[in-house]
Structure 1
Amino acid sequence: MLNPKKIEQIIQQIQDVLPQGVKDLGQDAEAKVKQTLQAQLAKLDLVTREEFDVQTQVLMRTREKLTELEKRLEQILAQQENH
């Protein structure tokens, strides 16, 4: 789910462009917009920034291990060629 602060920013941007009559509907309208926005965002296949960062770190470690294994394999193959 997205950061609640981001949702608040989006809601504020929507409210800023609404006509004054709509703004006067008050907190009920704000709650409905927020609820609808959260429901629609929940339907999207999104990950949090934290989850993304964790997976990025996992991928980096995996790449490092793969590079190390490739080097070791090259060394082993080079040793076999020399014998």
Structure 2
Amino acid sequence: MFDPKKLEQVAKQIQDAMPQPVKELGNDVEQKVRQVIQAQLGKLDVVSREEFDVQTQVLLRTRQKLSALEQKLDELESRMAPKADTEQE
């Protein structure tokens, strides 16, 4: 769901900001930080970039179809309008 590289960058930045004695704990701290970040991000109501891009494409196709249907409806209405005018006379 989240870009592992970005998550790794954030974890590294947090680890780099820690005092030297804490840094010496090494991989354990990095792993714990990564777990905490993943847990917190998992609680957020967000979608992945891939899912967002897919939904964007679906919306674009839907808009194109709607536009085509509106154009067809306008054409049909314009064809029907002259017939309605002649029927009223």
Which TM-score applies when normalising by structure 1? 0.93
Larger Rg, first or second structure (1 or 2): 2
Contact residue 12 and residue 30 of structure 2 kept, 8 A: no
Number of matched residues? 83
Q: Which has the higher contact order (CA 8 A, sep 6+)?
A: 1
AA matched with 2:15 = Q
Matched, 1:60 2:60: yes
> % of aligned pairs identical?
58
Q: How does 1:33-72 map to 2 (within 5 A)?
A: 33-72=33-72
Unmatched 5+ stretches in structure 1 = none
User: Could you tell me the TM-score, scaled by structure 2's length?
Assistant: 0.87
- List gaps (5 residues or longer) in structure 2: 84-89
Tell me the SS of whatever aligns to 1:73: helix
Runs of 4+ in 1 over 2 A off after TM superposition: none
Over aligned residues, Cα RMSD in angstroms?
A: 1.0
